[in-house]
Amino acid sequence: MRGEYSTVDDMEIRLPERTLLLKVWGYPIFDEHSEVQFAVSAFNDITEDKRNRDNMEYALREKEVLLREVHHRVKNNMAIVSSLLNMQSGYVDDEKHLQMFRESQGRIRSMALVHEQLYQSDDFAHIKVQDYIRSLSESINNTFGAGHGVHMVLDVDEIELDIETLIPCGLIINELMTNSFKHAFNGQDSPELHITLKKQDRDKASLSIADNGTGLPEGFDISLSGGLGFKLIEALISQIDGSLKIKSGDGMSAQITFPVEMKT
């Protein structure tokens, strides 16, 4: 009787004209005493399959190198733009216009950080949101939080988002955090800013930015706001097919719920 087959390691055979790579299976044949009498072998030529697989792996490595270089150059170009804005702001005496330069730098920085994270990542499709939001919030706090002594609280699930979703989310965080630093904490003894990103179910996430500051004016309507920041927030939320809920009382809270294809 024949026993179960066992797979032998790939075998390489060198012929005068070419080298073959074979997959070999061995079948032991037993007698009535369960002793091996002889074996039957089967061979499968996998030379072409191996060549195609090697070519695909080489092409994939080339693509990864190219993508890494693209993200690196985009990050560097954005850093140059940010530096030019910083240099130009040195010639601005009006505080209002100086603030506009700083806000533009913050927006560029939030996008550049995405490309920096992708450049350092092994996965060019998704970014670890925890690392990104931590770096972004620290950068914004260093730029706009000087003198406020704001206590930052982050509560971010261990999820990954694609670049098309994360860049708008980063810009939204930048706008809402900047708005809090500019308007919420005047006279506040113990200012706090909370950033939360949570999975709601398999295809939704919720981003929340809340402060314990002075709150928004009574009857505030984001759609009627004339500020560039709130107009940008509306456009970004629409871009990710999200919805916005704003609460104001003992501070301000903005919650954005949006559909995502998350990699967990």
pLDDT tens, residue by residue, 88-139: 888 888 888 887 888 888 888 888 887 777 776 666 567 778 888 888 888 8
CATH code, 177: 3.30.565.10
- My answer on whether 21 and 98 are in the same domain is no
Tokens encoding 159: 């999820």
pLDDT at residue 254, as a whole number: 92
- My answer on whether 99 and 180 are in the same domain is no
Lay out the sheet containing 19-30: strands in order across: 6-14, 19-30, 36-45
pLDDT at residue 2, as a whole number: 47
- My answer on whether 256 and 189 are in the same domain is yes
Pairing mode of beta strands 251-259, 204-211? antiparallel
- My answer on whether 253 and 203 are in the same domain is yes
| CB-count burial class (<10 Å; 0-12, 13-18, 19+) for 250 | exposed
Number of residues written out for the chain? 264
- Report the sign of the C-alpha dihedral through residues 131, 75, 206, 194, in that order: positive
Which letter, b or e, does each residue of 46-64 get, where b requires 16 or more Cβ atoms within 10 Å of its Cβ?
A: beeeeeeeeeeeeeeeeee
Q: Give the integer Cα–Cα distance in Å for 169 and 160.
A: 12
Q: Is the pLDDT of residue 8 over 90?
A: no
**Is 253 within a domain?**
yes
- My answer on whether 199 and 77 are in the same domain is no
- My answer on whether 67 and 80 are in the same domain is yes
Q: Is the pLDDT of residue 140 over 50?
A: yes
- Number of structural domains (the chain) is 3
Is residue 36 within 8 Å of residue 30, measured between CB atoms?
A: yes
**Is 55 within a domain?**
no
Is residue 49 within 8 Å of residue 58, measured between CB atoms?
A: no
pLDDT at residue 3, as a whole number: 47
Q: Which domain holds residue 159?
A: 126-264
pLDDT at residue 129, as a whole number: 86
pLDDT at residue 124, as a whole number: 56
Q: What is the mean pLDDT of the chain?
A: 80
Tally Cβ neighbours within 10 Å of residue 221: 10
Is residue 89 within 8 Å of residue 103, measured between CB atoms?
A: no
Number of alpha helices (DSSP H) and beta strands (DSSP E) in the chain: 5, 10
Q: Which one of 22-26, 152-156, 175-179 scores highest in mean pLDDT?
A: 152-156
pTM score, two decimals?
A: 0.68
- My answer on whether 224 and 139 are in the same domain is yes
**Is 50 within a domain?**
no
The residue-averaged pLDDT of 200-209 equals 88
Q: Is the pLDDT of residue 45 over 80?
A: no
Q: Is the pLDDT of residue 1 over 50?
A: no
Query: Residue 57, by phi and psi: left (phi above 0), alpha (psi -120 to 50) or beta?
Result: alpha
Q: Give the integer Cα–Cα distance in Å for 73 and 54.
A: 29
- My answer on whether 136 and 167 are in the same domain is yes
- My answer on whether 176 and 224 are in the same domain is yes
The pLDDT tens digits for 176-204 are 988 888 878 877 778 889 999 999 877 89
Q: Give the integer Cα–Cα distance in Å for 248 and 184.
A: 11
Which residues, 6 or more positions from 170, have their beta carbon under 8 angstroms from its beta carbon?
Answer: 110, 111, 113, 114, 132, 136
pLDDT at residue 241, as a whole number: 94
- My answer on whether 224 and 190 are in the same domain is yes
Q: Give the integer Cα–Cα distance in Å for 31 and 24.
A: 23
